[in-house]
Structure 1
Amino acid sequence: MNAMMRRAVIGTAAVSMALSMAACGSAGGDKKADKPTAGSTTSKNIGLLLPENSSSIRYESFDKPLFTAKVSALCSDCKVLYNNAQGNTATQKQQFDALISQGVKVIVLDPQDANATKSWVEEAAKKGVKVVAYDRFAAGPVAAYVSFDNEKVGELQGQALVDALGDKAKDANVVMINGAETDPNAGLFKKGAHSVLDSKVKKVVYEQSGEWDPKTAGQKMGAAITQLGKKGFQAVYSANDGMAAAIITALKGAGIKDVPVGGQDAASDAIQRILSGDQAYTIYKAYKPEAEAAAEIAVNLLQGKDVKSVATDTADSDTAKGVPSMLLPAKVVTKDNVKDTVIADGLYKVSDICTAAYAKACADAGIS
């Protein structure tokens, strides 16, 4: 599929308007959100449900405020009713049902467990509620899908690990710590990474799911060290930065040095680890165009407009074919291009990255 991206620079996001549904407030909802009043109108409300906030900071720091700001710019009297599942599928189901019960007609859903959503989306469709799959392809008859070309992301990860190994790649054994098996994106990352690694390294000698959980990833890395020995592998593929942090800690704890570890999400601490030499690379996915495309599609659906002016591509899931989609490209970030990517695009300010502990590393990379 051809990836498409509207060039944008991260700006200051407007203050997010959020709502914690009474039906799920005790099950992990956003405790800071305002509760609805009985009988309140919901005709201009758009639901936003994000999956977790433990393994990646992106959802709370970028996706939520960027999405909310764009909705506000497009529809001044619209509200975003937001909740985060905090890694719990049952919680997200309660949040989803609560939005429908309050009359919300458009829900932007990043599923905690994409396979679990088929019946949710089907029931929503029967009630005239349109669901936009965000970042992950939710199962069921979704109205649109906004994400990245995720198989290509995996290819970028695999090639970046090969590049980090350099001349040692052809003789290298690799450990792979993948994302959660309930996440269709994790499968695409894995597929893309294997398409590169299987022909360019000696062998993938250990492969497990880290479940998008840093603690689990650290445990799996410990098991790999025990099984393979300290010299039994030469590189580690980590599906995201949160798990990469735990993997790097496990490697250091075992006294293992000079083993490149990659990640994904361009988390600020990952950028710092890249500058200090602890992490080889990350994958930068520009959240602003993704969040803004989802917001524009959601407002169009709410207003009865065609979404194909934004969702100019199509994509297939296991349960839906030809879904109008916006698929965005991604970039590899290494020490050599931190300045020209996440800083140039305004994802982070220099002061966010170049704290006292990383001042020398920033200077060495030409960042000031």
Structure 2
Amino acid sequence: MGFQCGIVGLPNVGKSTLFNALTETAAAASANYPFCTIEPNVGQVPVPDPRLYEIAKLAKSAKIIETQLAFVDIAGLVRGASKGEGLGNQFLGNIREVDAIIHVLRCFEGDVTHVEGRVDPIADAETVETELMLSDLDSLERRLVAISKKAKGGDKEAKVQEAVFTPVLDLLRDGKPARLYTPKDEEEARVFRQAQLLTSKPVLYVCNVDEGSAATGNAYSQKVAEKAAAEGAFSVVISAAIEAEIAQMDPADRPAFLSDLGLEETGLARVIRAGYGLLSLITFFTVGPKEARAWTVHKGAKAPEAAGVIHTDFERGFIRAETISYDDYVKFGGEQGAKEAGRMRLEGKDYVVQDGDIMLFRFNT
């Protein structure tokens, strides 16, 4: 479905190392100097979901297909980017295209060059956020002049835009991101989405710590966690160095390696799941002897929309969805058991898909 999380941050905080580990490739060159990533690298990453393997086992599916999430490695930003410093214009253009922001913060000491000459993840976060807010501020101020003229002339769309952009501009002038704005109705929400403001995007802070702090975090990551909590955001602790090492291992050797480090799962699994949640996405499944497959929809999607994710014909000709919850599918040993227990439901066009639903769509072509 093309959902993209942009990996951003100051130069040399571990963005490309994280991206390489995420995609288990060396597609993004990581080096100890700023701007080693010039073009955004995009990697499709499977979303880990143990439920998929469980239902595949019950259905004896020959093939398993996980749902995917795209991660974009974007060139490092520096102070003054909103005025074109460094690769500022390119950075801002690339980030405008993503759906959510994975903000990597350096939370480790060491010899790797820091563009500001110190380790301070909170200041780093504020530097990036300030540049994004300045860009949004400049963009909105210029746009609002023309919009206000149209609104005075009676243009209905301009009136809605003015009603949305004026309070958003107040937020930005007060040093607050646009994502704190709450639309009054769907029309305002549409205008707000279409504005593609950089600070309207949801943010996940990823604390890149030293190897010894991967399991527990450290003082730096604790400060980031407090900042995230105050903003209603989320943070995840990882060691990009460890993740890069794990990515090169035989999958069979990974559990023991993680256990030795006091970790139950990779940091990447947490980052991927958090990115998925950040976009308010949920998973539904289709399952049979040929394949078990996970699919992605926005939370709140109705059954025909979910059908359309599989094929547009399914949405156009939607009749009903034969639906079993994941828990019932497992509890009763698969589709037949769930049917016999009366746990298969026939859902119509107004049904809101639930996370973990196992669905079979009936449609007319």
Q: Same fold (TM over 0.5)?
A: no
TM-score, structure 1 normalization? 0.23
Which of structures 1 and 2 has the bigger CA Rg?
A: 2
TM-score, structure 2 normalization? 0.23
